[in-house]
Structure 1
Amino acid sequence: MLLQQGSTGNEVKRLQARLGVNNTGNFGPITDKKVKEWQSQNGLSANGIVDDMMWAKLFPLHGLNGGNVRASDFRYEKLRGLIPDGVINQLPDTAARFNINNVYRLAHFLAQCGHESGRFKVVDENLNYSADRLKVVFPGIFEGGLAEIYARKPEKIASRAYANKIGNGDEASGDGYRFRGRGYIQLTGRGNYKKFAGYIGEDTELNPDVVASKYPLASAAFFFSSRNIWDICDGGDSQAVIVQVTKKVNAKLLGLQDRINHFNQYYNLLK
């Protein structure tokens, strides 16, 4: 391992995420400054060069070369009482299938799922909005008296709100409701259901309800893969990394403190 100013690639992205720098993958002057600051604070020569020794200090759970953990080796039993047994039972297969190969990835993934699903209780999008709430959640879509007409009618709300986007047909098609958010991180839209079907090997486009009943965890892991979130997770356990992961899940950073609390709780048990 040897990274320095001018280096590029995924390892630079991981380094930047760990140091709280925008992870562009390009090792420039800002990254160089952060590396030197970190080296000074941790008893290393502040030369701006990331060698094996510094990498091992930055990522102690990964080893010198980012060594992986087998899915069967995570201490899942530590999570019992915090996470439903049904979810824990799915974790080994999900971890193996989606390359969740270190504690950072697992803790970040569970933290986001735990928040988004109300501690793994919600697997189907709640669309029973009042008129006032419709205007907040879907700005510009239910204006001019439409909010009052659509209020408390989940099927009509979803059909309009998600029409002609994410692979859905128009409002009349009903795709918006048929392919509403399901799973622990709300897989949404015909296009995403179709992609997930191709990955998981079951026709979730034809039978979308199985995303909630059979694949709530796998669909969430698919979301992490499709949004390239795993590399950000590799950045470590800092709050800056939690913020970066959260931005990929919820751009407005809603519920950030709860996500931080979830992460710290799971990470401290798993590490």
Structure 2
Amino acid sequence: MSFKNLQKALGLDDDGVVGRATLTALFKRLGASQTRADELALAANVHMRTYRILDNELRFAHFIAQLAHESGGFKYMEEIASGSAYEYRSDLGNTQKGDGTRYKGRGPIQLTGRANYRKYGQSLGLDFENNPQIVALPSIGMLVACKYWADNGLNELADKDDVLAITRKINGGVNGLGDRKAKLEIIKNLLGKN
């Protein structure tokens, strides 16, 4: 696999260095609008480096594939469903009436639950618990996704090419595993794996 192959597949200069142009083109290819692709790429270009996701192609492939699944091809930064299914889910920290809707999935990784909004807000110095809607901003959501990825040891699981374990860490189960695997193959193909 090679970032040069990815750049060639996206019709870009193949210098092998993933930057904003490469990320913008990839997000667009996977379904994002131009504006959304630009916003995501701006944040991803910084935060994917900080959280060592760009250290190798396998980490990159798994990260992008999981986020592409969670966000419907980077089209949705907020869960389409109301979130009422998460009401009173103590495993998510949803203990008060309205928490399910208030702390529904947001950002490209679909951060869900009061406990996660509190945890990631506090660790990033942002008040997500009182302002949950800001996680839906593409730049903030990408930061959260990168932090969540690193905090949950997903770089190491990606290094082992373990899509099942990564899916369980992100989803809590294996919902959408087939689509996650399909998206992973798409990214690997763009990277020249096959």
Shorter-normalised TM range: 0.7 to 0.9
Alignment match, 1:107: 61
Aligned length, in residue pairs? 168
Alignment match, 2:123: 199
Q: For the Cα contact (< 8 Å) 2:93–2:115, is it kept in 1?
A: yes
Q: For the Cα contact (< 8 Å) 1:79–1:269, is it kept in 2?
A: no
In the alignment, residue 170 of structure 1 is paired with which amino acid? Answer: Q
Question: How far apart in 2 are the matches of 1:202 and 1:251?
Answer: 25
Alignment match, 1:211: 135
- Aligned-pair CA distance for 1:209: 0.7
In percent, how many aligned pairs have the same letter?
A: 33
- Structure 1 stretches of 4+ moved >6 Å: none
Alignment match, 1:91: 44
Alignment match, 2:92: 166
Larger radius of gyration: 1
Question: How far apart in 2 are the matches of 1:245 and 1:186?
Answer: 14
User: Which sections of structure 2, spanning at least 5 residues, go unmatched?
Assistant: 3-15
Of residues 70, 73, 89 in structure 2, which corresponds to 1:116?
70
Question: How far apart in 2 are the matches of 1:186 and 1:80?
Answer: 16
Q: Does 1:244 align with 2:165?
A: yes
Q: Does 1:126 align with 2:80?
A: yes
In structure 2, the CA distance between the partners of 1:202 and 1:253, relative to structure 1 (3 Å rule), is: same
Secondary structure in 2 aligned to 1:73? coil
In the alignment, residue 26 of structure 2 is paired with which amino acid? Answer: L
Alignment match, 2:11: none
The structure richer in helix per residue is 2
Secondary structure in 2 aligned to 1:231? helix
- Aligned-pair CA distance for 1:163: 4.8
Secondary structure in 1 aligned to 2:80? coil
Alignment match, 1:265: 186
Higher RCO, 1 or 2 (CA under 8 Å, sep at least 6)? 2
In the alignment, residue 52 of structure 2 is paired with which amino acid? Answer: N
In the alignment, residue 87 of structure 2 is paired with which amino acid? Answer: A
- Aligned-pair CA distance for 1:74: 2.3
In structure 2, the CA distance between the partners of 1:169 and 1:254, relative to structure 1 (3 Å rule), is: closer
In the alignment, residue 92 of structure 1 is paired with which amino acid? Answer: N
Alignment match, 2:5: none
In structure 2, the CA distance between the partners of 1:193 and 1:269, relative to structure 1 (3 Å rule), is: same
Question: How far apart in 2 are the matches of 1:257 and 1:176?
Answer: 27
- Aligned-pair CA distance for 1:93: 1.0
Q: Does 1:233 align with 2:158?
A: yes
In structure 2, the CA distance between the partners of 1:234 and 1:126, relative to structure 1 (3 Å rule), is: same
Q: For the Cα contact (< 8 Å) 1:197–1:203, is it kept in 2?
A: yes
Secondary structure in 2 aligned to 1:209? helix
Give the alignment's Cα RMSD to 1 decimal: 2.7
Deviation per residue, 1:16-40 (Å, 9 max, x gap): xxxxxxxxxxxxxxxxxxxxxxxxx
User: Which sections of structure 1, spanning at least 5 residues, go unmatched?
Assistant: 1-59, 62-71, 128-153
In structure 2, the CA distance between the partners of 1:162 and 1:107, relative to structure 1 (3 Å rule), is: farther
- Aligned-pair CA distance for 1:110: 0.5
Question: How far apart in 2 are the matches of 1:251 and 1:164?
Answer: 14
Alignment match, 1:74: 18
Q: For the Cα contact (< 8 Å) 1:113–1:185, is it kept in 2?
A: yes
Question: How far apart in 2 are the matches of 1:251 and 1:165?
Answer: 10
Question: How far apart in 1 are the matches of 2:96 and 2:62?
Answer: 36
In structure 2, the CA distance between the partners of 1:225 and 1:268, relative to structure 1 (3 Å rule), is: same
TM-score by length of 2: 0.72
Q: For the Cα contact (< 8 Å) 2:109–2:145, is it kept in 1?
A: yes
